[in-house]
Amino acid sequence: MRRAVFVVMIKKMNMKNPPDAREQHIRTGRYLKDIIFAASDGIVASFAVVGAAAGGSFPVSVLLVIGSAELFAEALSMASANYLGTRSEQQFYKKEEAEEYREVKEIPDKEREEIREILAAKGYAGADLDAMTALVTSNEKFWVEFMMLEELKLYNPVEDSAMKNAVITFSAFVVAGAIPLLPYLVLEKNATFLLSAVCTAAALFVVGAMRKFFSAQSWIMLGLEMLAVGGAAAAVAYGIGFVIKTLV
């Protein structure tokens, strides 16, 4: 029975079928992670500027100039870091994959024994262990993929688009980070720090609640957690601005 199941698994891995709903959910979740990370960072960073400016009683024009400059500069920084990080991860995976292919070709007996050890650690023994080892090592591509995942614990990032990740990060950071500045852009001199704080709190809660997509926790608790963390950062920024104002 185990042999039959494993044969089916190998065949499925070698077929180029469209992803099922769960696979699509996981792929979407990877991008959602970038969105949430960038959005939360954008909100907190932008509101930190607002808080420091409000604490220091800076004019609205100064707040907008500093806030906008910080918003786009940090968005570009995060996007470029995401791009380079993804590219580096892909290059590292390909390098290690090439090394695994070399070892499979040059020292197959040693690599085959490593497969046996991995499968034995998972509970296979006797005839089942022999059959499983033979099946895995009968397909070079799957053999290498198996070693990459089980021996090196490396996830294949080749399908990820470095440019798409960077664009998503930049867009999420700018859109979410603009929220604390919106009251000052729309209402100008009639805007208040309290209104900006309310908008920021609502945005943090929504972004936190979005983590429900890949978490088993309550969306309310996730939203409140993000609100608490972001609120603490904003309070520190406001306090620093207030202290500097009193000292200068």
pLDDT per residue as tens, the chain (248 positions) = 444 444 444 444 444 444 455 455 555 566 787 888 899 889 888 888 888 787 777 888 888 888 899 899 999 999 999 899 888 888 999 999 999 999 999 999 999 999 999 999 999 999 999 999 999 999 999 999 999 988 888 877 766 688 888 999 999 999 999 999 988 888 866 778 888 888 999 999 998 888 777 777 888 998 898 889 877 877 787 777 777 777 76
**Residue 78: per-residue pLDDT:** 92
> Which pLDDT does position 17 carry in this prediction?
46
SS3 19: coil
Report the alpha-carbon angle 140-142-159, nearest 5. Answer: 120
Q: What is the pTM of this model?
A: 0.72
Q: What is the pLDDT of residue 247?
A: 74
The distance from CA 133 to its chain's CA centroid, rounded to whole angstroms, is 35
Return d(Cα 60, Cα 190) in angstroms, integer.
10
pLDDT confidence of residue 125: 92
- Looking only at Cα atoms, what is the longest distance across the chain? 79
**Which of these, 41, 44, 34, 37, lies nearest to 180 by C-alpha position?**
44
Q: Report whether 86 contacts 162 (CB < 8 A).
A: yes
Cα–Cα distance, 211 to 195 (Å, whole number): 25
For residue 13, the model assigns a pLDDT of: 43
Cα(84)–Cα(77) distance, integer angstroms: 11
- What was the pLDDT predicted at 226? 86
Angle, vertex CA 131, rays to CA 127 and CA 137, nearest 5: 145
Whole-angstrom Cα distance, residue 138 to residue 235? 60
Per-residue pLDDT at 230: 79
The H-or-E segment that residue 195 falls in is: helix 193-209
Residue 84: the pLDDT is 92
The whole-angstrom separation of Cα 3 and Cα 83 is 42
